[in-house]
Amino acid sequence: MANPWIVNAVSRAELPAACQALAQCRPAEQRDSQARTYLAAITSNALGIAGLFTAKDHAGTIRGAVLGQVLDGATGLIWPPGVETGRDKTAIETDLMKTVLGWLRAAGVKVAQSLPKAGDRDGMAALERHGFKLITRLSMWERDLQTLPHPPKPSGTFTFLPVDDAEDFRNTLLASYEGTLDCPESAGDRTSAELIAGHGPMPEPHESLWFLAKHEGTSAGVLLLSRTDVPGVGELTYLGLRPEHRGRDLGRELIRFAMARSVEAGFHKLTLSVDVRNEPALQLYRSHGFRVTEQRD
């Protein structure tokens, strides 16, 4: 017997109702504001409409929705399906998940992730039924750069060079992944080129936001900054050292340079995310005035 609903890509006219459905996995008091957030992100093209799917009954009523997004580096994001509570809830979630996962695979995605708010068991249950594993919690941090009396100056231990030697940069970046404490499970079976592409497109040369850090003439680490959609807010996308350069307090030099360069770039705030299992990084950011703003599973 056929299900009394059908899953399809959303139309523009259905966006408000679809966003309201997608927010069903949030607590009741948060649903309206979350639906408005989804709608604003999609209509502003911060999120794509192509990965938004709805389950509609034969009367045309939207019973549930799920959202997927294709990212660089053969990765993708999934927002957990939102479905009204009822006897068909699990079945509708299953059809929505099958559809969005098939869409992501067809787009070349090898590793799909989700970042539900910490403790969101309702949304995570649907993901876990389809092979997702809870691997860690991400801690979101920020630093108000306007409160700095002056930009922190590195000691000169490193020479920071804007990335212009693609091979040296690639080799150093890949080496910095060895033994990493930041979500090593997310590498999946991606190629080295896909891992690098996962950091997004290289900034324009005049931006000087990606750097190769040299220590005593040797390429020792990398530092990647990026602009966000919020004016004046930058993101420390990645900071990493080759294994042989760790444990020597060199991370302090990298973060000091990141803050100084961010001020030069006009950022008044610097954000980052880090695996809560990465205690050395947590200590580093805490000691330089960063504070936790949110946690996600």
How does pLDDT run across 40-81, given as a tens digit for each residue?
A: 999 988 888 999 999 999 899 999 999 999 999 999 999 999
Q: What is the pTM of this model?
A: 0.84
Task: Report pLDDT for 27.
Answer: 82
Residue 154 has a pLDDT of 61
Give me the mean pLDDT over the 145-161 stretch: 76
Q: Region 246-264: what's the mean pLDDT?
A: 88
Question: Of all residues in the chain, what percent carry a pLDDT higher than 90?
Answer: 62
Give residue 155's pLDDT band: very low, low, confident or very high (50, 70, 90).
Answer: low
Based on the number of CB atoms within 10 Å of its own CB, is 37 exposed (0-12), middle (13-18) or buried (19 or more)?
middle
Q: Name the residue with higher pLDDT: 155 or 83.
A: 83
Q: What average pLDDT does range 140-146 have in this prediction?
A: 95
Kindly tell me the sign of the dihedral angle through the C-alpha atoms of 237, 241, 242, 247. Answer: negative
* Residue 288 neighbours by CB distance under 10 Å: 17
What local confidence, expressed as pLDDT, does residue 186 receive? 80
What is the pLDDT averaged over residues 4-31? 91
Q: What pLDDT does 202 receive?
A: 77
Quick one: pLDDT band at residue 179, thresholds 50, 70, 90? confident
Pairing of strands 62-71, 111-113: unpaired
Report the C-alpha gap between 77 and 184 in whole angstroms: 17
Predicted confidence at residue 162, as pLDDT, reads: 86
Tell me the two tokens of residue 232. 């004046």
Question: Which phi and psi (to 5°) does residue 203 adopt?
Answer: -60, 160
Neighbouring CB atoms inside 10 A of 120's CB total: 18
Determine the Cα angle at 44 with ends 106 and 122, to 5°.
60
Alpha-carbon distance of 226 to 115, in angstroms, equals 20
Whether the CA torsion 172, 240, 267, 70 is positive or negative: it is positive
Q: Which of 122, 129, 142 is nearest to 297 (CA)?
A: 122
Print burial letters for 139-178: b (CB count within 10 Å at least 16), e (below 16).
bbbbbebeeeeeebebeebbebbebeeeeebbebbebbbe
Query: How would residue 1 be classed by pLDDT, with cut points 50, 70 and 90?
Result: low
**Alpha-carbon distances of 126 from 39, 82, 96, 174, rounded to whole Å:** 22, 9, 10, 34
* In contact, 223 and 214? CB cutoff 8 Å: no
C-alpha to C-alpha distance for 27 and 133, rounded to whole angstroms: 22
Task: Compute the distance between CA of residue 262 and CA of residue 265 in angstroms, rounded to an integer.
Answer: 5
Whether 123 has a pLDDT exceeding 80, the answer reads no
What is the average pLDDT across 125-136? 91
Of 93-107, 118-132, 251-265, which gets the smallest average pLDDT? Answer: 118-132
Cross-strand partners of 210: 224
Phi then psi dihedrals of residue 169, to 5 deg: -60, -50
Is 152's pLDDT higher than 70?
no
